[in-house]
Chain A
Amino acid sequence: MSHPIPHTDVIRTERLERVYPGAEPVHALRGIDLRIQRGEFVAIMGASGSGKSTLMNILGCLDTPTKGEYWLDGVAVSGLSRDERADLRSRKLGFVFQGFNLLARTNTLDNVLLPLLYDRKRRIADPEASARRVLDRVGLGDRLDHEPSQLSGGQQQRVAIARALVNDPTLILADEPTGNLDTRTSVEVMALFQELNAEGATILLVTHELDIARYCSRAVELRDGLIIHDAPIANRRDAAADLTMLQGNTGLGAVHSSIFSSHA
């Protein structure tokens, strides 16, 4: 699929705020200005409660900001209805969750086909062929008939990634995608993300692990609902190379220097 306006930001927000109402209202986001361009691989970092998930939910059109503006691929999201946001998710977004969130007792192929049930415009002409293609892409082309309970955690997450890819999205959103995985499997998943990014996918990934963020190309750090750092990753790591290293039983090796380049 070709993109209509190549130079538009995939994400652009202006003074995004989110207040959770209640007896003591929580200012989860207090003015986020963020621009993400096509082809970027951005890590959103920050301590627990800093607002990462809240931001992801808004960027994923699952939630609406209390204040501020948000454009997704040139579309102003702030004024959209519930149905219009559902359509936008169907057309432009792919989600990967920490807990995989696959349908239980449903095989791999049907799980990956799920988003295309709601492909109202029939953008994807042959759903089944697309699903097989993306499953091949994540290396599970031979597991079409397996149910989630018959797959390892890493395999389940790769099914979830295939599901996020099947509708040919503009942006992939991943909230702690390696949170439930061991180190080795995490690196495998990051290697897959790096490959997809190299092929042109725009990826936004929430993590609080430095080791994971190092595989991205840019890191945005939140604290108390504000961006406190936003810079390219200085010494970006190659997940494929790390994987070979792990295979050689060497271990990942701690990298002590800051993940942010010195001039940030």
Chain B
Amino acid sequence: MPEQLLHATHKWKNLFKSATTSLLKNRMRSLLTALGIIIGVGAVIVMVSIGQGVRANIQGRISSMGANLLTVSPVRAMTGGVSQQATRNTLKPEDAEALRAQVQELEAVSAVTQSRQQVVSRNGNWNTTIQGGDPSYFDIRNWTLDTGRTFNESEVRGRAKVAVIGQTVVTQLFPNQNPIGQQIRIGTVPFTVIGTLEEKGSGFGGNQDDVVIAPWSTVLYRLSGERYLQSINVSAASPDVMAVAEARIQSVMRVQHGLQTGQADDFEVQNQADLLETASSVTQTLTLFLGAIAGISLLVGGIGIMNIMLVSVTERTREIGIRLAVGARGSDVLEQFLVEAVMLSLAGGILGMGIGVGLAALVTNLMGMPLVISPLVLLIAAGFSGAVGVFFGYYPARKAAALDPIEALRYE
């Protein structure tokens, strides 16, 4: 019936108006009360946005690296059920050779090693990661050359002191110069710059342009002085042969390492899906942790609202008496205080969303990740803060509704 509809809108308009008036009468108090909700909702938005940003970033990276990438790495030794730091002493350069020779399903194989070193040019000094690989490493990891050339097989065999450098390193070491052909010193070893990489931008795990790539043999034997590889990157010929390739790699590696039947693998083969899972399990732990913080601050915020609403009911006892005397039912008073509590928490929620989105934008920007704000999350956050208002506002509102009009009118 339109008449009833008109009455309902009229009523809600009035409820809304009186709640706003009453909250604005105590601006500071309202703001402080809503603070818990603001922080809670803000935390939820930040954590969800960052979590989603990380996922989107990892997915983006995986598709840019190609779905065919497989990584062979040393397995973590287990002692009494406790996972130890990765032992780097199982992958030998010969393992990479063997895979290249024996697994037909592979398109490319690259030994991988890393070393953190100080890099010095005539004009600069920079601490960065030196990555060692085979010539195929550039293809496998989706590096594109900007200028110069990459190193070749014979340079790998000869442990040649040649390096390809990323754009950050170019800026640091060769401001306004052409780096090709220039000498740099990595640690104590002099290298010649033979190429520069195209800019890749930063991503999860840091700036991808802050890198020096050299033959793995040079990095392993001349720089870090080790004998074992960090990992072996391979790319399968096509996505269809991934499973077969994984199985072949496993059997070749077992033979290489002389493992008997019944003995566990001392290496593991991971595909991109596995890596994604690892990464998202990390973000999930983070999400859970931040979620707990958000939950606690919403709870505390809710209790704050309940507290202030109880104070408000006492302060406004006489007003409640007047309303009851002029014809308000208990339910009218209940609605009034409930609307006020919900408006308080909802306003806090919306403010928290604004702050959360702002913070998330800042953080993702700093981390070089895309900002992902899903409307569903905003909707859930709004719903949640409203629900907090209903839940914690109900008790004070019911107390107000149950007041005796005569006593309330006499209240000083």
* Chain A residues engaging chain B, CB cutoff 8 angstroms: 57, 60, 62-63, 82-83, 86-87, 89-91, 93, 95, 97, 101-106, 114-115, 117-120, 122, 163, 167
Q: A117-B14, A122-B7 are in contact. Are A86 and B406 (CB under 8 A)?
A: no
Contact present for B25 and A57 (CB under 8 Å): no
Q: A90-B326, A95-B326, A101-B318 are in contact. Are A118 and B332 (CB under 8 A)?
A: yes
Contact present for B326 and A163 (CB under 8 Å): yes
Residues 297 to 338 of chain B near chain A (Cβ within 8 Å): 318-319, 321-332
* A-B CB contact pairs (8 Å), 8 listed: A83-B330, A86-B329, A89-B326, A93-B327, A106-B21, A114-B322, A117-B328, A118-B328
| Besides the known contacts A118-B323, A122-B7, 19 further A-B residue pairs in the complex with CB atoms under 8 A apart | A60-B325, A62-B324, A62-B325, A82-B329, A82-B330, A86-B327, A86-B329, A89-B326, A90-B328, A93-B327, A95-B326, A101-B318, A101-B321, A104-B319, A115-B326, A118-B326, A118-B328, A119-B327, A163-B326
Instruction: Check B409 for interface membership: any CB of A closer than 8 A.
Output: yes
Contact present for A86 and B324 (CB under 8 Å): yes
Report Cα–Cα, A156/B94, bound state, in Å.
99
Distance (whole angstroms) from the CB of A139 to the closest CB of chain B: 21
Interface of B: prevailing SS: helix
Instruction: Check B133 for interface membership: any CB of A closer than 8 A.
Output: no
Instruction: Check B3 for interface membership: any CB of A closer than 8 A.
Output: yes
Contact present for B25 and A105 (CB under 8 Å): yes
Instruction: Check B405 for interface membership: any CB of A closer than 8 A.
Output: yes
Report Cα–Cα, A91/B327, bound state, in Å.
8
Q: Closest residue to B412 on the A side, CB-wise?
A: A99
Contact present for B318 and A115 (CB under 8 Å): no
Residues of B within 8 A of A60 (CB): 325
Distance (whole angstroms) from the CB of A109 to the closest CB of chain B: 13
Residues of B within 8 A of A167 (CB): 326-327
Contact present for A62 and B406 (CB under 8 Å): yes
Select the residue from B319, B329, B330 with max chain A CB neighbours within 10 A.
Answer: B329
Report Cα–Cα, A163/B322, bound state, in Å.
11
Contact present for B405 and A62 (CB under 8 Å): yes
Distance (whole angstroms) from the CB of B335 to the closest CB of chain A: 11
Q: Closest residue to B331 on the A side, CB-wise?
A: A83
Distance (whole angstroms) from the CB of B226 to the closest CB of chain A: 78
Q: Of A87, A95, A105, which contacts B325 at CB under 8 A? A: A95
Per-residue interface assignment for chain B, residues 392 to 412, with 1 indicating a CB less than 8 Å from any chain A CB and 0 otherwise? 000000000000011001000
Contact present for A89 and B327 (CB under 8 Å): yes
Distance (whole angstroms) from the CB of A11 to the closest CB of chain B: 18
Q: Closest residue to B21 on the A side, CB-wise?
A: A106
Q: Of A90, A101, A103, A106, which contacts B327 at CB under 8 A? A: A90
Q: Closest residue to A83 on the B side, CB-wise?
A: B329
Contact present for A115 and B330 (CB under 8 Å): no
Residues of B within 8 A of A114 (CB): 322-323, 326
Residues of B within 8 A of A97 (CB): 409
Q: Of A82, A91, A101, which contacts B322 at CB under 8 A? A: A101
Distance (whole angstroms) from the CB of A22 to the closest CB of chain B: 15
Residues of A within 8 A of B330 (CB): 82-83, 86
Considering only CB atoms and an 8 Å cut-off, how many residues of chain B contact the other chain? 23
Q: Closest residue to B25 on the A side, CB-wise?
A: A105
Contact present for B409 and A115 (CB under 8 Å): no
Q: Closest residue to B15 on the A side, CB-wise?
A: A117
Residues of B within 8 A of A82 (CB): 329-330
Residues of A within 8 A of B326 (CB): 89-90, 95, 114-115, 118, 163, 167
Report Cα–Cα, A114/B319, bound state, in Å.
11
Q: Closest residue to A111 on the B side, CB-wise?
A: B322
Residues of B within 8 A of A57 (CB): 406
Residues of A within 8 A of B327 (CB): 86-87, 89-91, 93, 115, 118-119, 167
Select the residue from B3, B328, B405 with max chain A CB neighbours within 10 A.
Answer: B405
Report Cα–Cα, A117/B332, bound state, in Å.
9
Residues of B within 8 A of A83 (CB): 329-331
Residues of B within 8 A of A119 (CB): 327
Report Cα–Cα, A63/B396, bound state, in Å.
24
Residues of B within 8 A of A104 (CB): 319
Residues of B within 8 A of A89 (CB): 325-327
Distance (whole angstroms) from the CB of A86 to the closest CB of chain B: 4
Q: Of B14, B319, B328, which contacts A103 at CB under 8 A? A: B319
Distance (whole angstroms) from the CB of A93 to the closest CB of chain B: 8
Contact present for A87 and B329 (CB under 8 Å): yes
Select the residue from A57, A89, A91 with max chain B CB neighbours within 10 A.
Answer: A89
Q: A95-B326, A101-B409, A117-B14 are in contact. Are A122 and B319 (CB under 8 A)?
A: no
Distance (whole angstroms) from the CB of A101 to the closest CB of chain B: 5
Residues 1 to 18 of chain B near chain A (Cβ within 8 Å): 3, 7, 11, 14
Residues of B within 8 A of A103 (CB): 319, 322
Residues 369 to 412 of chain B near chain A (Cβ within 8 Å): 405-406, 409
Report Cα–Cα, A90/B327, bound state, in Å.
4
Residues of A within 8 A of B405 (CB): 62
Report Cα–Cα, A122/B7, bound state, in Å.
8
Contact present for B409 and A118 (CB under 8 Å): no
Q: Closest residue to A97 on the B side, CB-wise?
A: B409
Residues of A within 8 A of B322 (CB): 101-103, 114
Contact present for A122 and B3 (CB under 8 Å): yes
Distance (whole angstroms) from the CB of A184 to the closest CB of chain B: 27
Distance (whole angstroms) from the CB of A64 to the closest CB of chain B: 11
Distance (whole angstroms) from the CB of A256 to the closest CB of chain B: 36
Distance (whole angstroms) from the CB of A73 to the closest CB of chain B: 15
Distance (whole angstroms) from the CB of B142 to the closest CB of chain A: 67
Residues of B within 8 A of A90 (CB): 326-328
Distance (whole angstroms) from the CB of B10 to the closest CB of chain A: 8
Select the residue from A63, A87, A101 with max chain B CB neighbours within 10 A.
Answer: A101
Report Cα–Cα, A246/B190, bound state, in Å.
113
Residues 314 to 365 of chain B near chain A (Cβ within 8 Å): 318-319, 321-332
Residues of A within 8 A of B319 (CB): 103-104
